[in-house]
Structure 1
Amino acid sequence: MLAYGYRKFGGPAVFETLTQPTLTPTANQIVVDTLAVNLNDEDRIERLGTNADVPLPMIPGHDVVGRVSAVGSAVTDVALDTIVAAHTEHTYAEQVCLNADRAVPVPDGLTPTQAVSVITPGITAYKAVRYFADVQANQTVIVKGAAGGVGTMAVQLAQRMGAHVIAVASQQHADEMAALGVQQFVAYDHHNPAHVLADQGDVVINVALNGVDGKADLAMAKFDATIASVATRLPATSKSIRFRSIHETNAISDQAALQMLFKLLATDQLITQIGYQLPFTLDGFIQGHTLLDEPHDGRIVIEK
């Protein structure tokens, strides 16, 4: 089979075609023939060599939708030819092997491209809203980084929880936020959200790049608010803040999160924003990572 990866760290041009043996599942595994892959910022960070633990050569990728082509001897609940999605590893390949219990069936009403586009951003947002922030009905929830992949999901999920959602993003995303039904929008490039939203948030969810500007999060939060952020810490404060750093957790399983996300997506209760659909070729992956390195709108999906 063909896979796409790199033998050295660097820019998108490090990608090459890597010929791999056909995959054979162990007793508890399945093999899927890849239909679509979602590109994430984590893939870009790995490619740049920021994480010294990434082994070389590397076949990257974490999000996949594919058709089950082989099942292990102990797998009884996954049928051949079922289309499934998973958050796993080494997905930039024509085949992906994974533990059967990581796979989630894709509803008939969803295309592989739609389904794969919500895997990482949707799982992250779902856990941020439901577990880390513990959003409740009638709370005022401020989402910073609201126009990003995770942010747009967090906005919609918090709204479904019955929260009053305030979105913070750049002015160019004002119409997009309005289309999501956001009740209040603050453009950080026109106004200072820390001043406009001072002491208003019962919950502040910061999914902007690296959880930037914790001081603004504190300024926007009420005295006893919850702040859930992709940052690892907050500046010192006199407020009685419950701070939760958003990270990988099994408190809610990826599979449970995906099942709910697919249900909402299939019933038009959740919108996914796909910006680019590229071919499942070496050029497609290079182009996709070139886009990852630049400001871009919408998910980048590689599809067959």
Structure 2
Amino acid sequence: MKAYGYEKHGDPEVFQEYEVPEPTPAANQVLIRTIAVGLNNRERAERAGGFGSMPSPYIPGRDVVGEIVKVGKRVSDISEGELVMTHTERGYAEFVLGNLDATVVVPDGITPTRAAGLITPGLTAYKAVKYFANVQPDQTVIVKGASGGVGSLAVQIATDIGANVIGIASSHNQDYVESIGATKFVAYDQTDPATELADTGDVVLNTAMNGAGTDDDVTMVKPNGVIASVAHNSPMTDKPLKFAHIHPTDAMSDREALQAVIDLMREGKLDINIGYKLPFNRDGFVKGHQLLEEKHDGRVIIVK
């Protein structure tokens, strides 16, 4: 089968096409024929060398939607021929393995492209809102990066819970952020959000790649509020607050979170902005990673 990866770190041109063996599912896995792949910023950082050495050749990719072609002997609740979404490894390939605890059926009416765009941002946003921040009805929730993949989903998930959401993003995204449920919008390119929103949030969600702006998070959160952030280190402050580091966790399974977000999408309560659809070949993956290097609106999806 064809797969796409690289043997050295560098710019997007390092991608090559490989012929590799088709994987064999274990007892609790399914074999999936790839239809759509969602690209993520982590994969850009991996390619650039941000996570150290990798196996060579390294086949990246975590977010895959496709058709089940084979099931492991312990798999009973999903079947060959079903369309599924999975959070996996080695996803830039024609066939991938899906673990049962990270694979769910895609409902009728949802395209593979939309489902693929939902996987990693959906997992991150759902676990951030429901588990790390434990958002409750009527709380005021400030979402930084509210127009991005994770941020936009966090706005919608918190809104569905019944929270009052304040979205922070660039001014040109105001209409979009308000359309997905934010009751107030603050444009970071027109005002200082920390000044305008001081001591306002019961919860501040910071899902930037490096958790930038922690001091602002401290300013915006109410005393005894919660900051849920991808930043690794708790802020140095005398202000009483709870800091929760957003990270992969088995406390809530990927399958539970994926099922929740795809159900919300099926019910019309959740959507994802798809910015680019590219072909499933080397040129498509190179172009996709070039887009990840730039400021871009919407998810980047490779479609077979």
> Taking structure 2 as the reference length, what is the TM-score of the superposition?
0.97
Deviations 1:11-35 (A, max 9, x none): 1000010101222223332211000
Is 1:67–1:83's contact at 8 Å kept on the other side of the alignment? yes
Question: In 2, are the aligned partners of 1:204 and 1:221 still within 8 Å (CA)?
Answer: yes
2:151 counterpart residue number: 151
Structure 2 spans left out of the alignment, 5+ residues: none
Q: In the alignment, is residue 134 of structure 1 matched against residue 131 of structure 2?
A: no
Q: CA deviation at 1:236?
A: 1.8
DSSP 3-state at the match of 1:166: strand
How many Å apart are 1:148 and its aligned residue? Answer: 1.1
Residue 125 of structure 1 contacts residue 150 of structure 1 at CA under 8 Å; is this kept in 2?
Answer: yes
1:36 aligns with 2:60: no
Aligned to 2:217: 217
TM-score (norm 1): 0.97
Measure the CA separation in 2 of the matches of 1:302 and 1:212. Answer: 29
Contact 1:148 1:208 in 2 (8 A): no
Please identify runs of 4+ aligned residues in structure 1 that moved more than 3 A. Answer: none
Gaps of 5+ in 1: none
> Please, which moves more after superposition, 167-176 or 118-127?
167-176
- Write the letter of the residue equivalent to 1:41: N
Deviation of 1:101 (Å)? 3.6
Report if the CA contact (8 A) 1:68-1:84 is conserved. Answer: yes
Per the alignment, residue 14 of structure 1 pairs with: 14
Residue range with higher mean Cα deviation, 66-75 or 274-283: 66-75
Structure 1, residues 172-225: CA drift from partner, whole Å, max 9, x if none?
211111211311111111100111001111111111231111111111111111
Q: For 1:157-176, what aligned pairs fall within 5 Å after superposition? A: 157-176=157-176
Hey, what does 2:187 align to over in structure 1? 187
Secondary structure in structure 1 of the residue aligned to 2:224: strand
- Aligned identity (percent) is 52
Rounded Cα–Cα distance in structure 1 between residues aligned with 2:297 and 2:156? 17
Change (3 A) 1:9 1:168: same
Q: Is 1:89 aligned with 2:83?
A: no
Alignment of 1:100-139 (within 5 A): 100-139=100-139
Tell me the distance in 2 between the aligned counterparts of 1:64 and 1:164.
33
Deviations 1:79-104 (A, max 9, x none): 11111111010000000023334321
Distance 2:232 2:100 in 1: 33
**Residue-pair matches, total:** 304
Whichever residue aligns with residue 91 of structure 1, its letter is: G
